[in-house]
Structure 1
Amino acid sequence: MSTRTFRVTVRGLFDGLSAEQHAELTARAAEHDILTASFTPEGHLSYDLAARLSFTFRFADSGEAEENILAATARAEAAARAWLAERGYPYKNLKSQAEDRSSAPLGKRQRREAARQGG
């Protein structure tokens, strides 16, 4: 059985940030820029408070079976909630979406590389 790669996206809205919290997030905005967003095991947070109060966490996880995607999603949601709670950031409308990358179709570049390698 091969290992499956999962990508889990957890989205939500900051809700009722204090002026201090808003300033703190704004000061750290460069660390959380959408242009540097990536899927990581610990989760990567991105937001743009100047545009809207929404945020996105991106998590990378893995499992042996397709059913493991549910556990990966639960872990990602728990990690996002914990990160927000540790910092006291109020939020609402937390929603998750997960994708099993092993079943995703290959892109043009990936197909070309697979053909080059004889795959």
Structure 2
Amino acid sequence: MSNRTFRVTVRGVFDSLTAEQRAELLAHADEHDVLRSAFTAEGHLTYDVAARAAFTFRFLDSGEEEEDILPASERAEAAARAWLAERGYGYKNLRSSAEDLSQAPLGKRQRREAAKKGI
């Protein structure tokens, strides 16, 4: 069996933040800038509460079968909920999308390399 890599994106909107919570998020905004975003096993959070209340978590997970993508999505949503709850941040409209990288189309450079190798 092959090991599959999944990218899971969990999106939502902060809801009913207190002034203190908003200030805390703004104080840490540089760490959560979209330009620093990455898919990680522990999840990486990006937001810009100065512009809007939306946030995105990016998770990296893996599985053996194509069907393992659903549990990976569920784990990612649970981790996002736990992170938000641990800090007392309200949220709404939490939803996730996942991509199996083994099913992703090759980019131009990857196609060229595959052609050179005769794959």
Instruction: For 1:114 and 1:26, locate their aligned partners in 2 and report how far apart those are by CA, in whole Å.
Output: 45
User: What's the offset of the Cα at 1:51?
Assistant: 1.4
Instruction: For 2:56 and 2:69, locate their aligned partners in 1 and report how far apart those are by CA, in whole Å.
Output: 19
Structure 1: unaligned runs, 5 residues or longer: none
* TM-score normalised by the chain length of structure 2: 0.96
Instruction: For 2:25 and 2:71, locate their aligned partners in 1 and report how far apart those are by CA, in whole Å.
Output: 30
User: What's the offset of the Cα at 1:118?
Assistant: 3.7
Percent pairwise identity: 74
Instruction: For 2:91 and 2:115, locate their aligned partners in 1 and report how far apart those are by CA, in whole Å.
Output: 46
User: What's the offset of the Cα at 1:18?
Assistant: 0.4
Segments of 4+ moved more than 4 angstroms: none
Output the aligned Cα RMSD: 0.9
Instruction: For 2:23 and 2:117, locate their aligned partners in 1 and report how far apart those are by CA, in whole Å.
Output: 51
3-state SS, counterpart of residue 66 of structure 2: coil
Alignment correspondent of 1:19: 19
* TM-score normalised by the chain length of structure 1: 0.96
User: What's the offset of the Cα at 1:114?
Assistant: 2.1
Alignment correspondent of 1:72: 72
Residue identity opposite 1:80 in structure 2: A
Alignment correspondent of 1:8: 8
Q: Any idea what the Cα deviations from partners look like across 1:60-98, whole Å, max 9, x if unmatched?
A: 000000010010001000000000000000101100101
Number of residue equivalences: 119
Alignment correspondent of 1:42: 42
Structure 2: unaligned runs, 5 residues or longer: none
User: What's the offset of the Cα at 1:111?
Assistant: 1.2
3-state SS, counterpart of residue 116 of structure 1: helix
Instruction: For 1:82 and 1:26, locate their aligned partners in 2 and report how far apart those are by CA, in whole Å.
Output: 20
Alignment correspondent of 1:83: 83
3-state SS, counterpart of residue 9 of structure 2: strand
Alignment correspondent of 1:29: 29
Q: Any idea what the Cα deviations from partners look like across 1:3-28, whole Å, max 9, x if unmatched?
A: 11101000000001000000000010
Instruction: For 1:109 and 1:20, locate their aligned partners in 2 and report how far apart those are by CA, in whole Å.
Output: 47
